[in-house]
A and B are shown apart, each in its own frame.
Chain A
Amino acid sequence: AQRVTQPEKLLSVFKGAPVELKCNYSYSGSPELFWYVQYSRQRLQLLLRHISRESIKGFTADLNKGETSFHLKKPFAQEEDSAMYYCALSWGVQGAQKLVFGQGTRLTINP
């Protein structure tokens, strides 16, 4: 069965420190993985997806099929990065795409 695991519910780091939010997945096919972010009182927003291999707001994530991981990283955390972060796996046939979400990690950046 498809599953996404984010082992840390809460993560707190100081401003300027590196941050890594962990995500592991379980999926028998070729995974399509995403990171969504939810800032306080705002909607879920796409942060990045592995297929585009881009860096958004300084964040990167590399798909590691051997470790079935898609950890989110940023070398120098900023206070505005404080938010809820969700890792998600997309699967399904054409026209019936579904996202399976992890539990989410609440990231707090301390000044």
Chain B
Amino acid sequence: EPEVTQTPSHQVTQMGQEVILRCVPISNHLYFYWYRQILGQKVEFLVSFYNNEISEKSEIFDDQFSVERPDGSNFTLKIRSTKLEDSAMYFCASSRQGHSGNTIYFGEGSWLTVV
């Protein structure tokens, strides 16, 4: 069964450094997402992406964050200058369609620790 894959599984970075988290969505999916979960808190929506542009973003997704689909398979989340509070598990997800009843499939997550 096809799966969303994410790299790295764990990354430690110094405050102020740039981080790129990578994801390979399921191949026939058209909608891509990033969610995050700070330790002990809820899974939160960050951004959705379709047709090579952001379709929706949350208030968390400020100018420090950006997403890109650099080629036909990868979908990346970049944090330009990391802060301590960016430490979290970041989940990439994808879906075949974009309506609200559609199933979203998640990757295993990338655990980011900012020190």
Which of these, A44, A91, A98, A104, contacts B106 with CB under 8 Å?
Answer: A44
**Across-interface contacts of B109 in A (CB, < 8 A):** 43
**Across-interface contacts of B45 in A (CB, < 8 A):** 98-100
Q: Given A43-B107, A95-B55, A96-B55, is A49 in contact with B101 using a C-beta cutoff of 8 Å? A: yes
Contacting A at CB under 8 A, from B61-115, are 91, 95, 98-109
By secondary structure, the B interface counts as loop
Q: Given A43-B109, A44-B91, A92-B56, is A97 in contact with B42 using a C-beta cutoff of 8 Å? A: no
Cβ-defined contact, A43 with B43, below 8 A: no
Give CA–CA (A95, B3) in the complex, Å. Answer: 21
Cβ-defined contact, A32 with B100, below 8 A: yes
Q: How many A-B residue pairs have CB under 8 A?
A: 70
- Residues of B in contact, count (CB < 8 Å): 29
Which of these, A34, A51, A97, A101, contacts B98 with CB under 8 Å?
Answer: A97
**Pairs across A and B, CB under 8 Å, 20 listed:** A43-B91, A43-B107, A43-B109, A44-B106, A46-B104, A46-B105, A88-B43, A90-B100, A90-B101, A95-B31, A95-B48, A95-B51, A95-B55, A98-B45, A98-B48, A98-B56, A101-B42, A101-B44, A103-B42, A104-B42
Residues of B within 8 A of A (CB): 3-4, 31, 35, 41-45, 48, 50-51, 55-56, 58, 91, 95, 98-109
